[in-house]
Structure 1
């Protein structure tokens, strides 16, 4: 990652955000997930940069971005992306989000509309993480709900305790397949811990209470949804997203293909090939 240029910009509320810039041509903005960083896309950036202008941002409080004490909500993160696109004068960029990065994009579309964006890639994010008491199993699977409010509160509390690092490891462990090498998992943990645990707890609480289903059904941009059969995110929720966005495409990675929550790390060759295929194919249907 050292060979790629690191730059910074200041948001309207005074946070210095770091981002990687690589390649030339049409722009694609990569948005990482909860408590991760742009470094997570180390297998995508050099490949995508051969054909595109790649911008991979560290969200506020993450990676090399400033650890400010404010703004840790999805609406502010999406505003940061809007300002980044404006400052860099990116013309109708593609947006790719992983996990919480998808929710940042959904918030962006909700607040700023779809007109200034080209294609969208959503990688393994639930429309709503926290279940409701009256839901049956089908409703939970389609929403992607994986915790109750009580369970979420326990994790948030634990992330701010003296056991935060152990909790982080235990949180990440079911997100990968058994085939992931130990050193690669350890690298992921260390990337995760670069985000202060109090910030991680605040963001986790915020994103897990957001219900994006009413926004998802309004999307009319060419969209690729990528899921993992063995991900902690119920794959049926990704089928629901696919059915809710007209003419969208769905790619589900099987377990033997690295089909966990981080399939773009476990099987970057297939992931990169599929994303590039989607970005470069002709769209013949009416939008």
Structure 2
């Protein structure tokens, strides 16, 4: 099936930068918020499906894709403010926000800053509440939360991204995010999209993202929420299950290995992923 044609446009943030987004369809608004170093283009399979009955808007976060690439602002709180600028600039209300990976952190920061303003429901895809372990935690806490990085390791990754091997480090990280079913062409295309965010800026954002702790935000979410994870993701399913357990009334869907439940399940098994999202959107709309 041919991809749906999208309209490409920009909104201006309150600090004067251009945020790029892709848009298609009409109806209830579904805003797609990508992960760290990912782009709006990577949501094309969701745009193709949901633009039939939704107004779908896929965002390029600051520095990513076709958005402005200023030398500042690479922190989750600024990306959340940018998301707010998008919703306000387009006068969007009763929005469903779908965040993948770091996109969930952007959504949690948005909720923390704006108390869910303009948001009707959430879809949170494969993001633990904490990524970096703390030396002060009791034994087992990190495993329960799927906090898979040690502090020193995180800084080492950021140093690698900032240096001459940035592209290779990026490719290595991405290789942990999909199954062996991913085609070589798709891998190359995804890596190319990632590199649209300058590597030194990606390192700045990674540090801010990785060390954030959103556990106190989750119980304050008051809209219908779907949480999605996978058994073969780089993030063990336990941490995704924990996120769902902390959000009042949240639904949980863990994709199995046979269902290609990787970090990129939305790409590798888009038909099933889209079916799960569609069912949630239908049930949430009737509440």
Q: TM-score range by the shorter chain?
A: over 0.9
How does 1:69-84 map onto structure 2 within 5 Å?
A: 69-84=71-86
Aligned Cα root-mean-square deviation (Å): 1.4
Aligned twin of 2:263: 261
Per-residue CA deviation, residues 120-175 of structure 1 (Å, 9 max, x unaligned), is 00000111100012435631123221111100010000001111111111111111
The residue number in structure 2 matching 1:103 is 105
Tell me which of 115, 122, 126 is aligned to 2:124: 122
Is the Cα contact below 8 Å between 2:222 and 2:248 reproduced in 1? yes
Question: What is the DSSP-based 3-state SS (H/G/I as helix, E as strand, rest coil) of the residue aligned with 1:119?
Answer: strand
- Could you list the structure 1 runs, at least 4 aligned residues long, displaced by more than 4 angstroms after superposition: 282-285
Separation (CA, whole Å) in 2 of partners of 1:88 and 1:135: 43
In the alignment, which residue of structure 1 is the partner of 2:36?
Answer: 34
1:200 to 199, 202, 209: 202
What is residue 65 of structure 1 aligned with on the other side?
67
5+ long unaligned stretches in structure 2 = none
Q: What TM-score, normalized by structure 1, do the two folds share?
A: 0.96
Per the alignment, in what secondary structure is the counterpart of residue 214 of structure 1? coil
Alpha-carbon separation, structure 1, partners of 2:151 and 2:216: 21
Other-structure match for 1:54: 56
Aligned residue in 2 for 1:184: 186
Cα offsets for 1:27-56 (capped at 9, x unmatched): 011000000100110110011100100111
Q: Is the 8 A contact 2:4 2:47 kept in 1?
A: no
Sort the Cα spacing of 1:67 and 1:283 in 2 relative to 1 into closer, same or farther, 3 A. closer
Alignment of structure 1 residues 1-287 onto 2, 5 Å: 3-135=5-137, 138-282=140-284
Looking at structure 2, the residues matched to 85 and 137 of structure 1 have their Cα atoms a distance apart, in angstroms, of 41
**Shift in Å, 1:212:** 0.1
Q: Figure out how many residues of one structure are paired with residues of the other and give that number.
A: 285
Deviation at 1:283, TM superposition (A): 6.9
**1-structure distance, mates of 2:272, 2:190:** 20
User: What is the CA deviation profile of residues 152-208 of structure 1, one whole-angstrom value per residue up to 9, with x for unaligned ones?
Assistant: 010000001111111111111111111111111111111111110011000000001
Residue 21 of structure 1 deviates from its aligned partner by 1.1
- Normalization by structure 2: what TM-score? 0.96
Q: Which deviates more, 204-213 or 141-150?
A: 141-150
Distance 2:83 2:286 in 1: 29
